[in-house]
Amino acid sequence: MWSGLHRAPGDDDGPFSVPRSYPTELPGLFGRLAQVPCQAGAKQWYGRRKGTDDERRFARPGGAVSPTRQGPAHRARLAVAGLGRMGMVHATNVARRCPSAELVAVFDLRPDVAREAGERLGARVAPTYDDLLDSPEVDAVVVATPTGAHAEMAVRAAAAGKHVFCEKPLSLERVTTAQMVADIEAAGTNLQVGFHRRFDPPTAAVAARMRQGELGAPYLFRASQRDMSPPRPEFLAGSGGIFVDMGIHDLDLARWLLGEVVSVSARGTALSSPGFQEIGDYDTAVVTLGFANGALGIVDLSRVAGYGYDSSVEVVGRAGTARIDEPFAYGYELRTPGTAARPLVSSFDQRYSAAFVAEMEDFARSVTEVRPPLVGGRDALAAFDLAAAAAEAARSGTTVQPASSGTGTDDQPAGPAQAAGEHSGARTAAPNVKEVGTR
C-alpha cells in the first residue's frame, strides 16, 4: 500500500511549473553553451523586466502570448513524440523559448492529448508515428515516451534520417541501450540524451571554472537530490528504480565534472511506505563513488523529503570549493516579526526550467550547425552503467566496478579536464558489472 504518500501540487503529467528568473550576469560558459539562451542570452530570455502582461504570459506555459524570438535564418524543425510531463516541457520550450528551433509536429497515442497540444502550441498533429517520420518538414524528433518505447522509436527516427533527442534512460536494459547507441551512430544522425543538469547555468559555470583550473585537483564530489514526494506508484513500478530513474542525473554529473568512476558502493532503505518494498525499490539511498583520479564522491537520494524539491552539488578541490544550491522558488523573502520565510521549489522542472530550455536550444543548434551534441549516447551508456552498478551494490552489499569504467571517447577522460567543446562518452564495455570487494 502507498498510504501517506502524496504528490506535490501540480506534480502530474500536465504542463510544467512556472519557470523562475535567473541572473542576467553569469560567468562565461565553456564551448558552445555560451550561445544558448540560458547563458549569453540570459538577459534577453530570463532577465526580462517584470510587470507587463506579455512578460507574465511568456513565463507561463499556458500563456497566450510569446515574445518575438531572434534566431538564425534556418531553424531546426522539431517534432515531439510523447506528450506526458516531459514531452510537454520540451514541446512548450521548442515552440516558445528556443530561438533556433521550430515545433512543426506533435504525436501521442492519446489523440485528444495530441490535439490539445497541437492547438495550444501551433503544431501539426501527426496521426501516426510513421506519418511523423515520413514528413520532409521534420529535421529531428524528440522522444519523450515511456522508457520502454525509447529505443525502438529513436532507432526508427534515425533510420528515417532524423536527428534524435531522447529522454533518459534510453532503456532499462544495457544490451538494448548499447545496441540503440550503435544503431544511431551507424545511421549517421545525432543522438542527444536528456541530461539537462549539464545545461543548468550555475552548474555549467562551475564546470567552466573547473576547466580553467580554479578549483585545482578535485578531492570530493557531493550531491543531494530529494523529491518533495514520490511519483505515482504505477510510474515507480516501471521506472527502473531510484538509481536509474533519479540518481542517474547525479551520477552523470559526477562523471562529467570529475572524470571516470571505477568503483561504486551503495545502500538503500524504504521506510516511508510498504509500497517501495513491494516493488523492490528504495525511498532513500546513498552512493559512494571512487574516481580514477583518486577522488571520492557521495550522492544521497530521497523520494520523500516532504519540504520541497532539493538538488545541490559541491566539489571540493585543492585550491577551492564550488557549491551549487538554489532551493528557493523566487527571489523574495517574507519577513514578519521574529521570522523570515522564502518559498522553496517543489519539483525538478521548476528548479531546472532554464536547463530544459538550454538543452533543447543546443540540440537544435547541433542540427543546424551540423555538429555532435554536447551529451550523447555513449554518455548515456556510461551513466546507465553507474546507476546499474549502484543498484547491484545496494542489492549485494559489495563494491562494484561499473561496466564502462575508465574509458572515454577517443581515449580522452570525461569531465571539465577535457578540451573545450569536445564530446565525452564511454565506449561500449562488457555487459556485466564486476564485484571488486565487499564493504
Tell me the pLDDT tens digit for each residue of 258-306.
999 999 999 999 999 999 999 999 999 999 999 999 999 999 999 999 9
Q: CB of 397 within 8 A of CB of 134?
A: no
Return the sign of the alpha-carbon dihedral for residues 198, 79, 159, 170.
positive
Q: CB of 384 within 8 A of CB of 431?
A: no
Task: Indicate whether 370 belongs to any domain.
Answer: no
Nearest 10 degrees: CA dihedral of 209, 359, 168, 299?
A: 30
For residue 73, the model assigns a pLDDT of 55
User: E-assigned strands of 303-424?
Assistant: 310-317, 321-325, 334-336, 339-341, 398-401
27 — pLDDT class (breaks 50, 70, 90) = very low
Q: How many domains is the chain built from? A: 1
Task: Indicate whether 94 belongs to any domain.
Answer: no
Annotate 28-74 with DSSP letters as a single string. Answer: --SGGGGGSTTTTTHHHHTSPPS--HHHHHHTSTT-S--PPP---SS
Q: CB of 105 within 8 A of CB of 128?
A: no
Tell me the pLDDT tens digit for each residue of 402-420.
998 644 443 333 445 332 2
Mean pLDDT of the chain: 82
72 — pLDDT class (breaks 50, 70, 90) = low
Q: CB of 228 within 8 A of CB of 306?
A: yes
Q: How far apart are CA 135 and CA 131, in angstroms?
A: 6
Q: CB of 123 within 8 A of CB of 145?
A: no
Q: How far apart are CA 128 and CA 237, in angstroms?
A: 28
Report which of residues 256 and 14 the model is more confident about.
256
For residue 405, the model assigns a pLDDT of 63
74 — pLDDT class (breaks 50, 70, 90) = confident
User: Cell numbers of 244, please?
Assistant: 536509474
Whether 372 shows a pLDDT value over 80: the answer reads yes
Determine what percent of the chain is predicted with pLDDT higher than 70: 75
Q: CB of 375 within 8 A of CB of 422?
A: no
Q: Which of 430, 439, 362 is nearest to 397 (CA)?
A: 439
Q: What are phi and psi of 93, to 5 degrees?
A: -65, -45
Q: CB of 431 within 8 A of CB of 438?
A: no
Task: Indicate whether 131 belongs to any domain.
Answer: no
HSE-up of residue 7 (Cα within 13 Å, Cβ side) = 10
Task: Indicate whether 29 belongs to any domain.
Answer: no
Q: How far apart are CA 150 and CA 80, in angstroms?
A: 13
Determine what percent of the chain is predicted with pLDDT higher than 90: 73
Phi-psi region of 292 (alpha: psi -120 to 50; beta: other; left: phi over 0): alpha
Task: Indicate whether 24 belongs to any domain.
Answer: no
Task: Indicate whether 335 belongs to any domain.
Answer: yes
Q: How far apart are CA 342 and CA 41, in angstroms?
A: 27
Task: Indicate whether 239 belongs to any domain.
Answer: yes
Q: How far apart are CA 230 and CA 236, in angstroms?
A: 8
Whether 70 shows a pLDDT value over 60: the answer reads no
Whether 56 shows a pLDDT value over 80: the answer reads no
331 — pLDDT class (breaks 50, 70, 90) = confident
Residue 395 is part of which domain span? 214-348+378-413+424-438
Report which of residues 366 and 23 the model is more confident about.
366
CA distances from 248 to 45, 89, 254, 385 (A): 29, 20, 10, 9
Q: CB of 271 within 8 A of CB of 415?
A: no
Whether 5 shows a pLDDT value over 80: the answer reads no
Whether 424 shows a pLDDT value over 80: the answer reads no
For residue 404, the model assigns a pLDDT of 80
Strands 140-143, 124-125: parallel, antiparallel or unpaired by DSSP?
unpaired
Task: Indicate whether 240 belongs to any domain.
Answer: yes
For residue 98, the model assigns a pLDDT of 98
CATH of residue 224's domain is: 3.30.360.10
Q: CB of 386 within 8 A of CB of 54?
A: no
> What would the mean pLDDT of 227-256 be, rounded to a whole number?
95
Tell me the pLDDT tens digit for each residue of 28-52.
333 344 333 333 333 333 333 233 3
Whether 83 shows a pLDDT value over 50: the answer reads yes
User: Cell numbers of 294, please?
Assistant: 583518486
